[in-house]
Structures are given as structure tokens and as C-alpha cells.
Structure 1
Amino acid sequence: MVSLKIIEKNITIHDPEKVADYLSKYGIKYEKWNSDKLNSEDASPDRILEVYREEVERLKKEGGYVTADVIDINSNTPGLDDMLLKFNKEHWHDEDEVRYTIKGHGLFHINAEDEVTLSVEVGKGDLLRVPKGTKHWFDLCSDREIRAIRLFQNKSGWTPHYTNSGKDKKFMPLCFGPAFIPAENDREKV
């Protein structure tokens, strides 16, 4: 279930409709999809894309996406820590970042235009679309697992462009729900 925390205001929102409304102010799209459509979180990528074909096709038309795939990351993924180092530093992309979570949890931090930092925890059934050019970073939650549908406008445009602002270093990759772990003393809790 989605959780949104507006860090500097110490506000947390759990209601999906209110999360969608708040994120829309920043051009970020949140939707709750029917996760019961899929009989097994461990279904093949082809089966997942088949089950969510209607939703994926709608997004392709809305956003000009040309391809979709399924990414499956867990604590046994070879090179996981190196992979995460690419995305847990503040960056932006030349195209939207679109993720529909099938299994596990992830945490997007958004460096919003008004200098507010948003932390959005996504889990099963959550779709998040972060517009191109939006400064953000991503971490796994303590379960270190996420399986998600990804959509691309052009795979070559999905390269991270790092800001080197250092803002990401102020935040632990924590989640608000059952996967919460304590923060180190020198970092803010989210």
C-alpha cells in the first residue's frame, strides 16, 4: 500500500486518493491497480504483461511508451548493491520513469520544485509515473525485493543524469510500513 511523506512538513498520507491528488501537483501520477487480477506474484513476465495488457496499452497511448518489461530484483540478485548505487543518488532521466509494483516494496524520494522532499513508498498494486526531468532517487526497502512492470518511451533515454547535490545522503532508504528499520543517528528518519 502506498505511503507518502512530505519530509519537511512531517506529514504522512496513506490514503491512495489523497496521495494521487498531492503528487499530481508535481506532475507525478499515482494509480492503484487491481493486484488481484494476477493469480501469482511469481508468474512469468509474459503472463504478467498479458494480465495487465489493457492497463499497459492505456499508458502507452497516454505517455508515448513503446515497450514494457518486468524487472525482478531481490536480495539474491547478482550485483544488487552495485545496481542500487546507480539509482540511490539524486538523478533525473530524459524520459518518464514508470513502475507498477507486482511484489515487494520500493522507496522513491522526489526533490520537488518547491524544495520539499517527498518520500513515496510503493508496494503491490501501486503505479507511479515520475515525469522526465524530475530530480529523484530510488531505494529498496528492508525486504530488498521489488518486482515491477516498467514502461519506456525509449530505452536509451532511461540513463540517469546525476545532480551530485548530495541531498540523497541525508535520507536512509527506509519505509513507513511493516518494513521500517531504524535510521542511523546522522541521517534524517523518513
Structure 2
Amino acid sequence: MATVTIPATGQTLTDQAEIAAVLAPMGIWHERWDVEGRIGPEADAEQILAAYAPEIERLKREGNYVTADVINVTPDTPGLETMLARFDKEHTHSEDEVRFTVRGGGVFWIHPEGDGPVVAIEVGAGDLINVPAGTKHWFHLCDDRTIRCIRLFQETSGWTPEYIDEGLHSEHPPVCWGPRYLGGDSVRGTSDPIDSPVKL
């Protein structure tokens, strides 16, 4: 279940309706999809994409997405620090960023346009989220440094981060809330880093 935190006010939200109300003005939507019973813990990329084919096809129609893949990151992923450094600084993309988390978790930090405060969205297994094109944001893995998710793209080449000079990421250190932050158990993934993109 996603957790939304607004560090400037100390507000933390876990109610789905409240989360939707905060995210909607930013053009961000969040959905919950079942994971348990849908795919096995050792499912490969093709099995994951097949299991969620109906949802992927719906998003494809609604958002003009043409490509989906499965990314798998663990502490054993080669070049992990270099990979994470691409995403942990404030940046934008020229197309939407859409992620459905199958395993693990992380935090999307959103810097809204105007005077709105930075919003942190922690996602875990079962959370689908979008970050609209042009939205200032950055991403941190949770402390288990594990995430596996479906990604959707509007261009077959994917997106390139456009970094923001003097971004606000330096004011917000990595942190996760929820069970992981409170010392709960976390689930490790397998060690394959990024599965090949699959054109839909």
C-alpha cells in the first residue's frame, strides 16, 4: 500500500481516497493491482507481462504506450550505484513515467509546479503510479535496495532524464516509511538486473 508524506507539514497519508485527492492536482494517479496469487515469486519477465496483459493493454490504450519491460534491481545488481545516481537527482522526462511494483519498493519525490510542497510517495508491491511528463521528481530505493516493476513507455527508445540545476533532492535524504522504515521484513528479489524490453 502506498504511503504519501509531505515533509514540510509532517503529514502522512495511507488512505486511498486521501492519497488520490493529494496527487490528482499534480496529474498523478495511483492504482492497486493484486500481486499475491497473480504471479509466483520466481516469475520471469515474460510471465509477469503475460499475467498483467489486460492492465497493460488498458494503459496502452489510455496513454498511448507502445513498450513495456520489467526491471529488476537488487543489492547484487552490477553497477547499482551508477544506475541509482541517474534517478536520485531532481529531473524531468519528456514522456510519462509509469511503474507497477511487483516486489520491493522505493520513494518517488515530487516537486510540484508553483508553491506546493515536495511530496514523497512510497510505493511497494501492488502499487501502480505515473509521473506525468515534465514533472520535477527524483527516486530513492528503500533500504533493502530491491525493486522489481513493470515499466511502460510512449517511445520505444524510452526516456532520458533532464536534470534540474540546484534541485531540491539535496534537501531530502533517502528514507522509507511503512513496515520497512519500522523494521518490518522485506522481500529480496533475484539478481537479474533489467529484462529486455518487450514491444506491445
> If the length of structure 1 is used for normalisation, what is the TM-score?
0.91
Letter of the 1:163 counterpart: I
Match of 2:168 in 1: 167
Distance in structure 2 (CA, Å) of the matches to 1:155 and 1:173: 31
The runs of at least 4 consecutive aligned structure 1 residues that moved more than 3 Å come to none
Question: Root-mean-square deviation (CA), in Å?
Answer: 1.3
| Sequence identity (%) | 48
Q: TM-score, normalised by structure 2?
A: 0.87
Contact residue 95 and residue 132 of structure 2 kept, 8 A: yes
Query: Residue 41 of structure 1 contacts residue 102 of structure 1 at CA under 8 Å; is this kept in 2?
Result: no
**1:56, 1:34 → 2: CA distance?**
14
1:185 aligns to what? none
Partner of 1:139, secondary structure, is strand
The 3-state SS of whatever aligns with 1:35 is coil
Structure 1 gaps, min length 5: 182-190
**Greater relative contact order (CA < 8 Å, ≥ 6 in sequence):** 2
Name the residue aligned to 1:94: 94
Structure 2, gaps ≥5 residues long:
183-200
C-alpha distance in 1 between matches for 2:61 and 2:173? 36
Counterpart residue identity of residue 116, structure 2 = E
Query: For the residues of structure 2 that align with 1:53 and 1:60, how far apart are their CA atoms?
Result: 10
Q: Which amino acid aligns with 1:58?
A: R
How many residue pairs end up in the alignment?
181
Q: Does 1:72 align with 2:72?
A: yes
Report which stretch shifted further, 148-157 or 92-101. 148-157
Cα distance in 2 between the residues matched to 1:17 and 1:43:
31
Task: Name the aligned partner's letter for residue 60 of structure 1.
Answer: K
Of 160-169 and 130-139, more deviation after overlay is shown by 160-169
In 2, the alpha carbon distance for the partners of 1:50 and 1:26 equals: 31
Which AA in structure 1 matches 2:13? I
Q: What do the CA deviations read for 1:95-128 (whole angstroms, capped 9, x no partner)?
A: 0000000000111000012331000000000000
Q: CA deviation at 1:132?
A: 0.2
Q: Which residue identity is paired with 1:149?
A: I
CA distance in 2, matches of 1:32, 1:7: 24
Deviation at 1:40, TM superposition (A): 1.4
State how far apart, in whole Å, the 2-side matches of 1:40 and 1:58 are.
Answer: 23
What is the CA–CA distance in structure 1 between the aligned matches of 2:37 and 2:31, rounded to whole Å? 15
